Structure 1
């Protein structure tokens, strides 16, 4: 059974050796209760997310993870309208794991069609954008960044101007 520890005492001892770090396990109920933030404007797109793992919220280090959602696009709108995350960049490398839906992920002007089960690696500094291609289904993906906490990530959106870092807002 892999590296499972046989007793609670051993698990506690192993945790103490991790310099304050511990395994983090969030239930579906925990995730449901987390604050949702995002954008809903032309400059940044229509996207919302919840930060799941971040050193300012969990006993973790070196990685930040979350789950993001784009709503479906509206009929009679161009493919770029509706649920999208506008072109942006940050210095951290990132991985997307698609949970559900279909989208186009653009990395440095190359388009990658993705659907449930797809995995995308995005190098640090690369420009990235995501657009939902469905008229009926949300696009949902997990993201993981090489950063201690989400606050360490400086999101530079193409539409904000050179060197301007955007701050998302709390979504209902």
Structure 2
């Protein structure tokens, strides 16, 4: 049997992608025994809208809305979301997210069905480029 892992999000270093999005890698192979899942906490700035994009067909993704109100466009269809809502995004699907509030952050958890290979997840790649690894605590430089 494998060893479980507990991560306190407040102790995870934030990657600031740009003025509209930041993220914390919570679980991946760097800090746990997983070989099959990646969980990220994404923070979308008030009023921010991200453009449609897709992942390789072999990467499914799930959004879990934690805080705030969002609009998710999935293959051209817009859906209004609030805390507790879940979105399944099949690999290869076009999707985008927008924060519906002009004053509060949107917090979402993203779950990937497997660990990304280089080029599959630009934010994951940026984290590796800037930090040399995907996970850091706030105590690390």
TM-score of the aligned structures, taking structure 1 as reference length: 0.65
Which structure 2 residues correspond to residues 44-83 of structure 1 after superposition, within 5 A?
Answer: 46-73=20-47, 83=48
Query: What's the TM-score, normalizing by structure 2?
Result: 0.77
Q: Structure 1 pair 134/39, CA: closer, same or farther in 2 (3 Å)?
A: same
Answer 1 or 2: higher relative contact order, Cα 8 Å, separation at least 6. Answer: 2
Find the aligned partners of 1:155 and 1:38 in 2 and give their Cα distance.
15
**C-alpha distance in structure 2 between counterparts of 1:25 and 1:85, whole Å:** 30
RMSD: 2.6
Per the alignment, residue 64 of structure 2 pairs with 97
Contact persistence 1:47–1:85 (CA under 8 A): no
Query: Which protein shows a greater Rg?
Result: 1
Alpha-carbon displacement from aligned partner over 1:42-69 (angstroms, at most 9, x marks no partner): xxxx211111111123211211111111
For structure 2, the residue ranges without an aligned partner over 5 or more in a row are 132-141
Q: Could you tell me which residue of structure 2 aligns to residue 162 of structure 1?
A: none
User: Does structure 1 residue 25 correspond to structure 2 residue 11?
Assistant: no
Of residues 26, 38, 53, the one that matches 1:88 is: 53
Unaligned runs of at least 5 residues, structure 1: 1-14, 16-20, 74-82, 157-165
Contact 1:37 1:49 in 2 (8 A): yes
Shift of 1:38: 4.2
